[in-house]
Structure 1
Amino acid sequence: MRPLPHRGPMGRGVLLIALLVLGRPASAQDTEAPRASDTATEAPEPAAPGSGAEAPEPTSREPEALVLSTNFGDVQLGGRINVRETIEQPQGGIWAGELTLPAARLEATYRWKKRLRAVVEFDVRGEVKDAFIWLKLGQGFATRAGRFKVPLSLIELESATRLPVVRRGLLRDVLDDALGLSGRLPGAQVEWKCPGCLGNVRLLSGVWQTQDPDSKVALERGLGLMPALRGTWELGSVELGASGLLQPAGASPGGDQRSWLAELDVRHTLALGSGALRTWAEALTGRAALIGGTGKMLMGRVVTGWRLGGADRGKAYVEPFLMLSAMDPDLDRPDDLLWEGAAGLNAGQWNRWRVQTQFEVRKASSGTPPVLEALEESLASRRAVLVQLEVGF
């Protein structure tokens, strides 16, 4: 393992904030709410089925976040810090470790009545994560513009603080790092929620801009515009979803070929005593210009965690979890399968802080496309152990 860096001013600041948050009284937090900046499709509590009432706009921060009220609206402040030790062994290599700060974020949300929101989430290392404006139009319609997540993969859209895993693994490396078809991009979308439907029915449609390394896209390439759409139906503890994305030839870094993906997914929560069994599953198919080949690719991922305790915010809990991922980059090409298995355990105070451990095994077949093996984080076979402290405030 490489030696740990000297703890400078930034390290002392992170430690101080963590201690302050860990020492907050349990009564400060008592409800669970999704973070709007971490998912482009988070859903508030729906109106009663058949009531015809319109559901409120998405909630961006937990109720206990610092709120600054003015005559022109409210500003909510919050954030989170993750400190992670990663120890990896590539196939044929040696174990090596690295202490990192994968997230150190501050978020500010401006709200005016129930019609307008402006969200900025900033990583203290100098990167803007989310920056968008959400405007309620009426009749169930709303619009969003700025930088936010492309509504493709359910597990990629889900907030990192709500998933049990330390990192999303193989499919994150492929969809985001390799292909640039998920994650946060500049774009605009129209949202619609059916006010009179059974359950919570939502439709999203928008365009996002593919970016070159210099953050500019030639006009002759159609500005790199990439359309996507998503529909979800939430009924009780089950949510079903479907997504589609098209990257036209002019918007693809792969040249004169186009990329497309289609996805089906499901999310389910089963209450078990004072805890819950939470499961996310998705399957994707399509063709990616960067990977090449003649056949379609097929990908799938399942994440499940059994939370014991933590029925209310701030309550102690433990949560063992599993994640399985697999990818066939080209169904016409033999011996190119990639798969990954991960298992781990979370422990802490629900929705306040947690210590996470995760063990991963990744296997890549001999026919894996070179573009995937050439990634910065490489999709080659490896083993890894991760330990992470996550604190939200």
Structure 2
Amino acid sequence: MGEGRWGEKGRRGLLATVLLLGMPAWAEPEATVEPPKPEPGALEEPLSEGGEGQAADEKKKGPQVSAFGRVYARVSADEREGYERALSIPSARVGLSASLSRLDAEVTADLSSKNILKDAFVRVSDKHKRLRLYGGQFKAPFLARELASSWSLPVMRRGLVADYLEDTHQMGGRRLGLMGEVSLKEAWKLKVSGGVFQGARNEELDTRASEDAALRVSVRPFKALTVGASGYLAEVFKGTRNVAVATDATLSLGALELSGEYVNGKLPTGPFSAQMGLASYTLPLGLEGWAVQPVAGAEMLQLRGPLRARGYGFLGGLNVLYSEHFKAMFQAEHALRAGDEAPGFEYSLQLATRF
């Protein structure tokens, strides 16, 4: 593979892997994989990944501080690169969260990333957790696929559509910003999140664009179904140059989970639309804590402006899960991504652990 494929990023991620995998087995209690709801004692998601935080537990009194972390180690072989094997540590994350009455805070770093700081924010809530105010760096409320915890996603990557919007056109993702949130459990678990965020940075000119805005609304009309809509406006105070809106739905029927999202908008390349779909089924093996999870997904991206183009991705895979702490994922994808001259296959194996 060579030093170029590994580099400093790989060494830092490998160090985190050794440290986390070397922790004693009693570091966390076991939790049985029982979709879609974890059993008592299972790990809570961090605030930055959609978790509620320790302050949501009214029985706990006084300050609550906890540490969390995860490591993903991946090897892949891509047809477009002659099936050359590539070993990487896509995530080696550690963080601290603290809760005190109506105040929560979280700081998260990723040792495998060039930009180590991922999340750093404070959240203030009212007594009943209906009103919340976030300040700092965190995910903008746009795209259900992007907001989902990477641990709970049954696939290794968020997909070519999310990558194209966030990485190529800098719409959504983690930003410095200020966001308000309203949650009304009695009204179909209505949640409305909206805020103003730091604009995109132009690395070549060393300048930063005007502020962006993002909004998401979701409801849960019954236990099995969640539907939502989100939007992102770039440079909102200067006439909104780029805009994207999305609708999404997730259906959970016991071990079966289906999700879909449709996105439409305008980019510098012109109008675009995209579709994403995922299906997974979690099947316990009869051994305590163990389960297998077959998964299938599809994505489509259409650019309809002067630069007409399309992209797509089809994937299938199988995950092996143990408790809330470990999973092994095998995935095969046939895709035509942005910048590809021709479609190709990629095969990936990922081992993941968290605490």
TM range (shorter): 0.7 to 0.9
CA distance in 2, matches of 1:12, 1:171: 32
* Deviation string, structure 1 residues 261-280 (Cα, Å, up to 9, x no partner): 11100112111xxxx01122
Question: What is the aligned counterpart of 1:105 among 93, 106, 113?
Answer: 93
C-alpha separation between the residues in 2 aligned to 1:94 and 1:309? 37
2:110 partner letter: D
Q: Deviations over 1:343-380 (max 9, x none)?
A: 1110030321011111111126xxxxxxx42xxxx686
Give secondary structure in 1 for the equivalent of 2:156.
coil
Report the AA paired with residue 324 of structure 1: A
1:130 to 119, 133, 140: 119
* 8 Å CA contact retained: 2:47, 2:53: no
Gaps of 5+ in 2: 32-38
Report whether the alignment pairs 1:345 with 2:323: no
Q: How does 1:122-201 map to 2 (within 5 A)?
A: 122-125=109-112, 127-138=116-127, 140-197=130-187, 199-201=188-190
Instruction: Give CA-to-partner distance per residue, 1:54-101, whole Å, 9 cap, x none.
Output: xxxx226999xxxxx996x121111101111121121xx512121111
Against the structure 1 CA distance between its residues 112 and 306, is the aligned structure 2 distance closer, same or farther, given a 3 Å change threshold? same
Name the structure 2 match of 1:55.
Answer: none
2:311 and 2:242 map into 1 onto residues whose CA distance is 20
Deviation at 1:241, TM superposition (A): 0.3
1:275-326 Cα distance to aligned partner (Å, 9 max, x none): x01122100000012xx23xx21101111111101899x7100001011010
| Residue 298 in structure 1 maps to residue 287 in structure 2 | no
Please give the secondary structure, in 2, of the residue aligned with 1:337.
strand
Aligned partners of 1:191, 1:147: CA distance in 2, in Å? 15
- Between the aligned partners of 2:211 and 2:328, the Cα distance in structure 1 is 40
Alignment CA distance shift 1:24-1:303 (3 Å)? farther
Q: Distance between the aligned counterparts of 2:127 and 2:332, measured in 1?
A: 47
Is 1:59 the counterpart of 2:53 in the alignment? yes
Number of residue pairs matched by the alignment: 337
Between the aligned residues of both structures, percent identity stands at: 21
Query: SS at the partner of 2:21?
Result: helix
- Name the SS of the counterpart of 1:346 in structure 2: strand
Aligned to 1:240: 227
Q: Which of residues 18, 29, 53 in structure 2 aligns to 1:15?
A: 18
Q: 1:244 to 1:9 in 2, by over 3 A?
A: closer
Cα RMSD (Å): 3.2
| 1:31-65 superposed Cα distances (whole Å, 9 cap, x missing partner) | 346523443xx37xxxxxxxxxxxxxx226999xx
2:336 alignment partner in structure 1 = 363
Matching residue's letter, 1:261: A
Match of 2:34 in 1: none
TM-score (norm 1): 0.76
**Structure 2: distance between partners of 1:145 and 1:288:** 28
AA aligned opposite 1:17? L
Shift of 1:248: 2.7
SS at match of 1:20: coil
1:325 aligned residue: 299
Segments of 4+ in structure 1 off by > 3 A?
1-13, 23-34, 36-39, 60-63, 213-218, 331-334
User: Is the Cα contact below 8 Å between 1:88 and 1:383 reproduced in 2?
Assistant: yes
Distance 1:9 1:133, change over 3 A: closer
Q: Which moved more, 1:119-128 or 1:321-330?
A: 119-128
* Shift in CA distance, 322/38, structure 1 to aligned 2, threshold 3 Å: farther
Distance 1:60 1:146, change over 3 A: farther
- The change in CA–CA distance for 1:340 and 1:60 in structure 2 (over 3 A counts) is farther
Give 1:223-302 correspondences, 5 Å limit: 224-234=210-220, 235-248=222-235, 258-271=241-254, 276-289=255-268, 292-293=269-270, 296-302=271-277
Work out whether residues 300 and 325 of structure 1, in 8 Å CA contact, stay in contact via their aligned partners in 2: yes
